[in-house]
Amino acid sequence: MESITVLMTCPPVHPYLVEALEKRFTLHKLDSVPDKAQFLSSHRDSIRAVVGNAAAGADAELIDQLPKLEIVSSYSVGLDKIDLAKCKEKGIRVTNTPDVLTDDVADLALGLMLAVLRRLCESDRYVRSGLWKKGDYKLTTKLFLLQFSGKTVGIIGLGRIGMAIAQRAEAFSCPISYFSRSQKPGINYKYHPSVVDLAANCDILVVACALTPETRHIINREVIDALGPKGVLINIGRGPHVDEAELVSALVEGRLGGAGLDVFQDEPNVPEELFKLENVVLLPHVGSGTVETRQAMADLVVGNLEAHFLNKPLLTPVV
């Protein structure tokens, strides 16, 4: 398969994935190419596969420049950086990495809930700074640490990841409610047909749905106000799910109780107004970022490409 040319459009996030691709294919990394337009025009007739991720995939413009493109294998479960309609229209296959990352992303959502309510990051900074040793008991005596067990958790999107979050939160005796396009049959969690309604009736609101034109800014001013000064927002989905300017002003003005964010509108740029807020926990998009899961994701990316070029059924087909 060395004669098959693969273009990686995302930054080379995982050395294991890069090595596995280089072993089997002729790999080009768009990220390290100085003149991308020039590179694409000189390689347009050889590139047969694209590997992308949550940061960069294959948009209509790129697809139109690659007439020999047969498959886009994404190192992510989210498909919002791939023009799926265009792929369908052109007969280009698309695969992603579902299931293998569900546990990690759900674990991280619970971690963010605990970190925000119990102020784990602030407490860690307090110990490291030597304040505890200096006899400054501000943090250990100030009563702002909130209990997590028993809080009502509202989940937007009850797919694989949403369900895994619900199951974990249930173990903390949290009542679960959810919003999705329609009520799920056979599920006992309380269904809210509107996000505002869900936000008004939960303590912790979690974004766990796919990013689509319909779910862009699903967290807007009205939802934030419904969640209110005691509510906490957790986002392990995508930055554009949230109207970030509204979120920042609500947090700065104390109209929202707190937030745990793994994703942002314009990664890696994070609004600096959030840096000074101790009721906010900020992570660099690491929901699936464990050794085990990233390896399983890479195996799926490579396995899908191999299957395609050997004319075998794809492992995780989307298109």
CA angle 171, 174, 180 (to 5 degrees): 105
What ranges in the chain are assigned the alpha helix state H?
15-24, 36-43, 60-65, 84-90, 102-117, 120-128, 138-141, 160-170, 195-200, 221-227, 244-252, 291-309
Question: What is the maximum span of the chain, computed from C-alpha positions, in angstroms?
Answer: 68
Q: Which is nearer to ligand 8YV, 101 or 226 (CB)?
A: 101
Catalytic residue of the set 217, 222, 255, 267:
267
Whole-angstrom Cα distance, residue 275 to residue 171? Answer: 32
Q: Which is nearer to ligand 8YV, 78 or 258 (CB)?
A: 78
Beta-carbon count within 10 A of 230 CB? 10
125 is catalytic: no
Q: Which is nearer to ligand 8YV, 146 or 296 (CB)?
A: 296
Q: Which is nearer to ligand 8YV, 158 or 200 (CB)?
A: 158
22 is catalytic: no
CB of 317 to ligand 8YV, least distance (A): 16
CB of 216 to ligand 8YV, least distance (A): 16
CB of 286 to ligand 8YV, least distance (A): 7
Catalytic residue of the set 238, 241, 294, 308:
238
CB of 155 to ligand 8YV, least distance (A): 17
CB of 311 to ligand 8YV, least distance (A): 27
Q: Give the residues lining the site for ligand 8YV (CB under 6 A).
A: 13, 53-54, 75-78, 101, 285, 287-288
> Are 173 and 150 a contacting pair, CB within 8 Å?
yes
Catalytic residue of the set 14, 28, 48, 285:
285
| Strands laid side by side in the 232-235 sheet | 190-191, 176-179, 153-156, 204-207, 232-235, 258-261, 280-282
Whole-angstrom Cα distance, residue 147 to residue 163? Answer: 22
Q: Is the peptide bond before 67 cis (omega within 30 degrees of 0)?
A: no
Q: What is the CA radius of gyration of the chain?
A: 22
Inter-helix orientation angle 291-309/15-24, to 10°: 20
43 is catalytic: no
Q: Which is nearer to ligand 8YV, 53 or 279 (CB)?
A: 53
> Are 8 and 30 a contacting pair, CB within 8 Å?
yes
Catalytic site positions? 238, 267, 285
